[in-house]
Structure 1
Amino acid sequence: MTEILRYAAFTDRPDGGNPAGVVLDASDLDDERMQRIAAEVDFAETAFITGRDGDAYLVRYFSPIAEVPFCGHATVATAVALAERGASGRIRFLTPVGEIAIETTGGAAGPRAAFTSVDTEVAELPHATVERLLALLGLDAAALSTALPPRLAFAGNWHPVLVVDDAAAFDGFAFDPDDVRAYMNEQAWPATITVLHPSGPGRFEARNLFPVGRITEDPATGSAAASVGGYLRALGAVDAPARVVVEQGRHVGRPGELTVDIPVAGGITVSGGAVAM
């Protein structure tokens, strides 16, 4: 019988952060069975270790509706689960987007994991796409930051990134999940729509739209946090090497915190804890 673990990532509380399913031995599972398990678990993603290549773990990620190329919070959850079972220190995951290096460390609140993404890319968001996103969220263009303009950012998944300066607009926007999902499918965005609000020096609050199953907003999104790191570096909004903190999950009752380390070049490192649920 397949053992399915459940962890909350980017938190030290079982009722915080982002829940992830973790299957440490999926070597006998085919695609259909993994998809069925992810739908039954009904978290944003479930990670499956499908085998080994030397000392590296082969990892795939499934949402309740489809396979996704990469998932940060499920990576952290899986690395912590492995660390709790003796595989501490440096761990390598071979994922559909490439090799992901993870460092696990102990602590009073339990193990933490830091993954380094693949190299980042940032692209323009067409004006018509920005207008459509604003309409879906019920936001006025005046709510957008002029210092941090909309972009597409990649660190394993492509994420559209919108920055909203006004706190009331950030807290107050609403959306129809079905309409957002239809547009995400049309654009072939596999992960989240990222909306940020600058909340203090070196700090952002994020809302990540991800309508899948019963989920509408993701509580803590590691791949988006890595993409945000690449976005900030590309715009010259940070003096790399730099660290920013992303708070997420308040709007869905599962607060969490992601630490984002931005080097001068290369992948972005995202770190946080995870606890069994």
Structure 2
Amino acid sequence: MKPIVIAVFTARELGFKGNPAAVLLSKSRLSDEEMQDQARKIGMPATSFIVEDKEGNFWVRWFAPDEEIGLCGHGAAAAGIFLSNETGHEKVYLQYEGGTIGVELKGNTFFMTLEGIPLTKKIDVPQAIKDGLRIPILEMYETENKHLIVTDSEVSVAQMKPDFSRLRQSSIFGYAVTGPGDRVDFVSRTLVPHVQQLEDHATGSSHALLVPYWAAKLAKSRMESYQLSPRGGRFFSEWKEGKVVLSGNFEKE
């Protein structure tokens, strides 16, 4: 089956192209090797592999070209949009190893519900990360997913020129670098120096930890944010009862 490619968190009027994911619906479960091989050939930041079980539940796994992704927010959104169109249901649920993700489709806007990712502890910033980012770092936190790095301004996030060779000298896998926004509530970029992609375009899983952090910081439950990657992404979010509801626009590529 030919994959469908859907870009999510787009904003054409801002020049934001969002994050593309390929989606494949399989009649039977593929092996890890088969999924990794297909993801490598497709070459998207993420490929979502969906299979329906005997009870009618849709299970999803995500693969980048070089390895599996434990939680892929933009890949989940693309998979949900695809399934909504396939089944005719406005809201669909995706099962994955970590739980359930709900995706609701209304016109060209989607709504996705994720479990919030709490900060586990504040840590000292490794020298390799200080040298590799070369921006003011106010705080750094560990989570069960990526780390969180807080800087002083939108300008620092936008103008950051990561030295990935230096960043790889820290064993930390990846981090969401964030600061207060000038035009929106906050901005961010997601860096993953140990894998092929290096910087992600528009990252739902990062926002699962960014939204609770900024909701507490700004005393707001509803926010708008930009991911200032080369493609760019716009997110609308709500922090509600331990869950992050992300919404945005999408386009088929």
Same fold (TM over 0.5): yes
Match of 2:113 in 1: 116
Alignment equivalent of 1:177, drawn from 145, 161, 164: 164
Match of 2:234 in 1: 257
Match of 2:140 in 1: 150
Amino acid paired to 1:273 = N
Contact 2:128 2:169 survives alignment (8 Å): no
Q: Once the 2 structures are TM-superposed, how far is the Cα of residue 103 of structure 1 from its aligned partner?
A: 1.9
Match of 1:239 in 2: 219
Q: Once the 2 structures are TM-superposed, how far is the Cα of residue 207 of structure 1 from its aligned partner?
A: 1.1
The question of 1:36 aligning with 2:29 is answered: no
Instruction: Return 215-224 or 161-170, whichever deviates more.
Output: 161-170
Task: Please list the CA deviations of residues 10-32 of structure 1 after superposition, one character each: whole Å capped at 9, or x if unmatched.
Answer: 11559700111111226242110
Counterpart CA distance in 1 for 2:153 and 2:143 is: 22
Counterpart CA distance in 2 for 1:159 and 1:42 is: 23
Counterpart CA distance in 2 for 1:181 and 1:64 is: 19
Counterpart CA distance in 2 for 1:197 and 1:86 is: 40
What's the % identity of the aligned pairs?
25
Match of 1:67 in 2: 68
Match of 2:134 in 1: 138
Q: Once the 2 structures are TM-superposed, how far is the Cα of residue 179 of structure 1 from its aligned partner?
A: 4.4
Task: Please list the CA deviations of residues 43-84 of structure 1 after superposition, one character each: whole Å capped at 9, or x if unmatched.
Answer: 221111022363431000111111111101111111112222
Contact 1:153 1:228 survives alignment (8 Å): no
- Change in Cα spacing, 1:275 to 1:52, as seen in structure 2 (3 Å) is farther
Counterpart CA distance in 1 for 2:44 and 2:141 is: 27
Give 5+ residue unaligned stretches, structure 2: none
- Change in Cα spacing, 1:29 to 1:239, as seen in structure 2 (3 Å) is same
| Two-structure CA RMSD over aligned residues (Å) | 2.4
The question of 1:165 aligning with 2:152 is answered: yes
Contact 1:71 1:223 survives alignment (8 Å): yes
TM-score by length of 1: 0.80
- Change in Cα spacing, 1:202 to 1:56, as seen in structure 2 (3 Å) is farther
- Change in Cα spacing, 1:153 to 1:104, as seen in structure 2 (3 Å) is farther
Counterpart CA distance in 2 for 1:267 and 1:67 is: 24
The question of 1:225 aligning with 2:207 is answered: yes
Contact 2:9 2:248 survives alignment (8 Å): yes
The question of 1:203 aligning with 2:185 is answered: yes
Contact 1:56 1:91 survives alignment (8 Å): no
- Change in Cα spacing, 1:275 to 1:74, as seen in structure 2 (3 Å) is same
What SS class does the counterpart of residue 165 from structure 1 fall into? coil
What SS class does the counterpart of residue 197 from structure 1 fall into? strand
Counterpart CA distance in 1 for 2:118 and 2:56 is: 29
What SS class does the counterpart of residue 117 from structure 1 fall into? strand
Give 5+ residue unaligned stretches, structure 1: none
Counterpart CA distance in 2 for 1:84 and 1:274 is: 13
Contact 2:157 2:187 survives alignment (8 Å): no
The question of 1:193 aligning with 2:166 is answered: no
